[in-house]
Chains A and B, each alone.
Chain A
Amino acid sequence: MRRLFQFIYQYRAFFVFLMLELISGWLVVNHNDYISASYFNSSSALAGNIYNSKQSVQDYFQLKEVNQNLAQENEKLRNTLALSAPIVDSTEFFTPIYLSGQYEFTIAKVVNNSVSRFRNYFTLNKGSKNGIKEGMGVVNPNGIVGKIKSVSENFSTGYSALNGNLLISAVIAETETLCTANWDGKDPTKMTLKYVPRHVKVETGMDVVTSGFNALFPADVKIGEIETVVIEENATFYDITLHLSVDFQSLDYVYVIGNQLQQEKDSLEQTTFELIND
């Protein structure tokens, strides 16, 4: 026993090292998976506030761009309004899905964002106080941005679409082929599209949008355009790269989407699944 203690004491530096590495290894494994709400991230009050003040300094340098983006979005909205106005008729009034009360949009500002790491995250300046919950989808006028990972009172952190952990249920708009969009960790302007079977005719320039199946994003939110299409001799699926429609290098304002019916949909699907398994 005495010799054991002597041994440990002699190599105490190594044992301290081993202990600290085991703790960090445990944290890496347990706190970075897909759904894990951990307290220690940039949505915590300390980190959030520091990022917020940092962003308020940077804001002055981006005023012009932000203004331009907002003006462009305004123009687009006015155009859709002008187009759709004559069609509205009280006899055949069809409420668009985003007005029917299923989806709720909250505007938030990105106070911190990364694009070139293997797993990218952003921090928003709104939190549970503003009704943001874990798992909500995030979009901006150009397309999809990501998904909320964890929320504190005033801030929230999310997986950017540039995060290998995030799988987005997508469809190719022209052919209505269901597939999955995922980031491969290299270029922040591109994404890969998986599981497009070889019998589908795919061309460059086709639009890829969200499917709306997973209740995270409404259907038809743009993801990007197909840029390259490759298929190998015996492969079942195409190798497709997308050009993302959102410029992640300059995110400013985003909308967080709350789906009022998500719980209902999830519980229905869960019940069905259990019925099948019984």
Chain B
Amino acid sequence: MINTLNIKQLIIWLLFISAQILLAQNLVLYDRAFCFIYAGAILLLPLNISRNYLMVIAFFTGFIIDIFYNSLGTHMAATTFLAFVRPLWINAITPRGGYENVDSPAIKDISLSWFLAYSLPLVFLHLSVIFFIEAGGFHMFFFVLLKVIASTLLTVLVLVIIQYLFYSKGRYS
């Protein structure tokens, strides 16, 4: 169970969480675009991970973020939902060659266009859950929707940049 691969995943997870709490939490553009890069900790987990395991990790991740955001439950619900949808969406957008020789859904393993198609809808769903729970309903629908769209674009952009900076081909394989 515990081997180098798991330890590597654990370190990446910790880095994402600390980056979220220490840096990305303060990154808000025009009071609209928020950066929730901790979603990357769930999005970039290996493909062969079991669904239940994935959801429990996501649940725990959301819990940690909630403690720091004073919003107990909100991020837990959103991240668990993200983890539930992730395998369904991965199956739905299988690239032409299938997922042979692919261990994680990252740009270096597949391609940039696939990663965008993979992450944009998932992050959109994830952030919709967060913002609509936080707003406490649909009474500010378009304002919240604007926040969700702006935040999705920012989050995915930062995730792509992170991958080009730190996930270079071969370094972690």
Residues of A within 8 A of B (CB): 12-14, 16-17, 20-21, 23-29, 31-32, 38, 40-42, 44, 46-47, 50-51, 54, 114-119, 121, 149, 157, 164, 185-188
- B31 pairs with A28, CB closer than 8 A: no
Q: Is the CB of A119 within 8 A of B73?
A: no
* Beta-carbon contacts under 8 Å, B117-170 to A: 131, 133-136, 140, 143
For A185, list chain B residues within 8 Å (CB).
135, 140
For this complex, 21 residue pairs linking A to B, each with C-beta atoms less than 8 Å apart, are: A13-B55, A16-B55, A17-B80, A24-B76, A25-B73, A25-B77, A27-B76, A28-B73, A29-B73, A32-B73, A40-B63, A40-B72, A42-B68, A46-B67, A47-B67, A50-B22, A54-B22, A114-B25, A117-B69, A186-B143, A187-B31
Q: Which 9 A-B pairs have the closest CB atoms?
A: A27-B73, A28-B73, A24-B77, A24-B76, A116-B31, A13-B51, A121-B70, A31-B72, A17-B84
In B60-76, which residues have CB < 8 Å from any A CB? 62-63, 66-74, 76
Interface residues of B in 7-52 (CB under 8 A from A): 21-22, 25, 28, 31-32, 34, 51-52
- B99 contacts the other chain (Cβ, under 8 Å)? no
**Chain A: which residue is nearest B50 at the CB level?**
A13
Distance (Å) between the CB of B91 and the closest chain A CB? 13
User: Which B residues touch A47, using CB under 8 A?
Assistant: 67-68
CB neighbours (8 Å) of A17 from chain B are 55, 80-81, 84
Chain A residues, CB < 8 A from B32: 116
Which residues of chain B are within 8 angstroms of A54 by Cβ–Cβ distance?
21-22
Chain A residue, CB-CB nearest to B83: A17
Chain B contact-residue range equals: 35 or more
Judge whether B136 and A118 touch: CB under 8 Å. yes
* Nearest CB of B to A177, in Å: 27
**In contact, A20 and B76 (Cβ under 8 angstroms):** yes
> B59–A164 contact, CB under 8 A?
no
Residues of B near A21 (CB, < 8 A) are 77, 80-81
A238 to B67, CA, bound (A): 39
- Checking A40, A117, A157, A164 against B66 with a beta-carbon cut-off of 8 angstroms, the contacting residue is A40
**Which residues of B lie under 8 Å from residue A41 when comparing CB positions?**
67, 70, 72
The answer to whether B133 and A28 touch across the interface, beta carbons within 8 angstroms, is yes
| Chain A residues, CB < 8 A from B135 | 118, 185
Contact status A157-B70, CB under 8 Å: yes
- A32 & B71 in contact (Cβ 8 Å cutoff): yes
Minimal beta-carbon separation of B32 from chain A (angstroms)? 8
Partner of A24, one of B31, B80, B134: B80
Q: Is the CB of B52 within 8 A of A24?
A: no
Q: How far is the CB of A163 from chain B (nearest CB, A)?
A: 10
Bound CA span A51–B25, Å: 11
Separation of A37 and B147 alpha carbons in the complex (Å): 29
A119:B55 contact, CB within 8 angstroms: no
A50 near B81 with CB under 8 A, answer no
Evaluate contact between B52 and A12: CB separation under 8 angstroms. yes
* Residues on B with beta carbons closer than 8 Å to the beta carbon of A14: 84
Chain B nearest Cβ from A202, distance in angstroms: 26
